[in-house]
Amino acid sequence: MYLVDILIFVGGLLLLVKGADLFVMSSSWIAERFGVSEFIIGLTLVSIGTSVPELASALTASLEHASGIVIGDVLGSNIANIGLIVSTAALLSNVRTEELMLRRDGYIMLFSLFIFLLSILDFRISRLEALIFLLFYFVYLLFLLDKVKKHEEDIYFEDFMNYFFRFEYIFDLKARIETGIQGRIEGKRKEKITKKCSEETERKNRTEGEIGAKNKTANEIRNEKKSEIRNEIKNIIGIKNETEIEIEKETEIEIEKEIESEIKNPSESSLLKELIKLIVSGIAIVVGAKYFIEQSIFFALLLEIPETLIGISLVAIGTSLPELMVTISAARSGYASIALGNVIGSNITNTLLILGCSGLVNPLTVTKISIYYITPFMLFISLLLLLFIRTGWRIKRTEGVILLLLYCGFMFFIFLLG
């Protein structure tokens, strides 16, 4: 009997994870095809791509009023990212770190955790607090995509704080919108010039064809050829510069037309295929999250343990498995540092975006075990990670072993406590 529930739980998790991967790929492809700017794609789809399983499961749990699973999922994912994923990367190879990783994203991660701690002191996360989380996350994305890319020198945590409290993101967003509008106007202007050029060329060709049709005799054709050659010789010097300019303009127009044709006239079969993928993956995410969360609640009731513990264990580890597989692959290929950057970014996303969205759907209730035990340990292991990043600017295997042992010991303690 319980075997069926286990299979549904695993099946829901697989649907959730695979559906999330397919959804991000298909939606990015469609967005690019219809001319959505890279800024918007980066701001929405790519940035939350790795956190879609956690987001979908947290939103589903929030709709079910299962606050314990939402909080447990977020806190458990943050702890598992450090205690399980970073430790695995460190065990497989020394993880190189750098000052920027600590002084910008590391401190922003720590800042987001302290905001979370302050917000749960009253044992709940209100919609207003959830909105503040989302505001911080939105500004963080603008900071990365706009501020960091514009400056050649390194940008640190203090720059992020200035960016937020001086409301620089409002001006950056306004500039983005104005640039987009100006770009559309310029595109329309080029489109009109292209249309006029094509009409003028067609009219000239038609006129030349009519003239050619009237000339029948060999002498007339010969005289016409001679006059054309004479005219070309006379005009070639005078129109040289103009011709070069025209060639450049024609090249630009051709490139513009190619881009527009790719955007406006994508292959119908490819577009239909991606739309089907998008719909199927969306359904897979919804269905997978539904059964995954329902079975998580079922096991919590069956085993008579708090929802928070199910969230911190089954749900958190289940949604972190894809990242663990990617980390193992990256570490074996010598790219363990990428995994560390992904973990820090994922923890920021989990805290600000996922809790923000879930808290907007329904205010979240926080249990005592989350405030007194789980959150302090999350802060402790996060601080320890930042310390390890700084020691020799690499995370050594011994430090990986420490993180893994701390994670295993904490999970054993928290289940005994629960």
Whether 191 and 277 share a structural domain: no
What is the structure's pLDDT at 240?
A: 46
Whether 307 and 388 share a structural domain: yes
What is the structure's pLDDT at 106?
A: 92
What is the structure's pLDDT at 388?
A: 94
Whether 297 and 209 share a structural domain: no
What is the structure's pLDDT at 210?
A: 56
What is the structure's pLDDT at 278?
A: 82
Residue ranges of the chain with per-residue pLDDT less than 50: 42-43, 216, 236-241, 244, 262-264
What is the structure's pLDDT at 168?
A: 83
Spatial neighbors of 76 by CB under 8 A, at least 6 apart, are 311, 312, 313, 315, 316, 317, 374
- The pLDDT tens digits of the residues spanning 331-383 come to 777 777 777 887 888 899 999 999 999 999 999 999 999 999 999 999 999 99
3-state per-residue secondary structure call for 336-363: HHHHHHHHHHHHHHHHHHHHHHHHHHCC
What is the structure's pLDDT at 362?
A: 94
- The pLDDT tens digits of the residues spanning 56-69 come to 889 999 998 999 99
Residue 356: C-alpha distances to residues 36, 106, 360 (Å): 25, 20, 6
What is the structure's pLDDT at 86?
A: 92
CATH number at residue 51: 1.20.1420.30
Q: Which of 243, 264, 285 is the last residue of a domain?
A: 264
What is the structure's pLDDT at 304?
A: 82
What is the structure's pLDDT at 257?
A: 54
Question: Considering the domain boundaries, does residue 130 fall inside one?
Answer: yes
Place of tokens 């993928």: 277
Place of tokens 């319980």: 2
Question: Considering the domain boundaries, does residue 393 fall inside one?
Answer: yes
Domain that holds residue 279: 2-137+267-417
The pTM score is: 0.73
Whether 271 and 405 share a structural domain: yes
